């Protein structure tokens, strides 16, 4: 017996197989694209982390350079006597009588590279002399922060003023 095969059925069957193959290809292509996207996302995240680490390393290097600059710029604690002498010279040049009271000595502390010293400078002189002294503090090679000025002025014009200049300065340890 001879089978009669309809060409349309064969053509339909071949098209069905081809459509299934194409659909399967698209399915696997979609899975492959998702995996590529996942790998791309992870790679991008690693690149961002690497870039962030490079920025941190650059910031750390810049910070180390800044700390070195501060340590090289600020006088050592052992030079505090020279600083006092410089304050006395400035007061003398301005015509001001000066007495220095140390409120807080720079403390030795493991891990700290910077110390502060709070000073009360008791001054006596005319208004112009005290003003000249305070302005001269800006000319020294020591970082000085004038925190407050308290003074007693005589009634009327002229006369001697007495007061206290509260300053803060920094030293490297």
Residue 9: what pLDDT?
Answer: 74
Question: What pLDDT shows up at residue 93?
Answer: 94
Q: Which sequence spans correspond to the domains of the chain?
A: 7-73, 77-172
What is the dotted CATH code of the domain comprising 77-172? 3.30.70.60
For every one of its 173 residues, what pLDDT tens digit does the chain have, with 9 covering 90 and above? 556 667 777 777 778 788 877 878 888 888 888 888 888 888 888 888 888 888 888 888 877 777 666 666 566 656 777 888 889 999 999 999 999 887 665 555 556 667 778 889 999 998 889 999 999 988 887 888 889 988 887 776 667 888 999 998 877 76
Tokens for 23, please give them.
């659909």
Judge residue 171's burial from the number of C-beta atoms within 10 Å of its C-beta, 0-12 exposed, 13-18 middle, 19 or more buried: buried
Look at the block and give the residue holding tokens 């339909």. 12
Q: What would the DSSP string read from start to end of 86-100?
A: HHHHHHHHHT-EEEE
Q: What pLDDT, on a 0 to 100 scale, did the predictor assign at position 80? A: 75
pLDDT at residue number 110: 56
Query: In sequence order, which residues have a C-beta less than 8 Å from that of residue 108 and are 6 or more positions away?
Result: 173
């Amino acid at each position: 017996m001879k089978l009669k095969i309809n060409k349309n059925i064969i053509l339909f069957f071949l098209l069905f197989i081809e459509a299934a193959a194409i659909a399967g290809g698209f399915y696997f292509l979609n899975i492959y694209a998702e995996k590529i996207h996942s790998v791309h996302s992870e790679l991008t995240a690693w690149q961002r982390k690497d870039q962030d680490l490079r920025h941190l390393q650059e910031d750390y290097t810049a910070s180390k350079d800044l700390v070195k600059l501060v340590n090289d710029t600020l006088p050592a604690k052992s030079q505090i006597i020279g600083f006092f002498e410089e304050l006395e010279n400035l007061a003398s040049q301005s015509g001001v009588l000066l007495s220095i009271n140390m409120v807080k000595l720079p403390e030795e502390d493991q891990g700290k590279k910077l110390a502060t010293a709070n000073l009360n400078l008791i001054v006596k002189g005319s208004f112009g002399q005290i003003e000249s002294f305070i302005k001269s503090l800006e000319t020294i090679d020591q970082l000085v922060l004038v925190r407050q000025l308290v003074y007693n002025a005589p009634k009327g014009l002229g006369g001697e003023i007495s007061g206290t200049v509260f300053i803060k300065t920094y030293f490297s340890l």
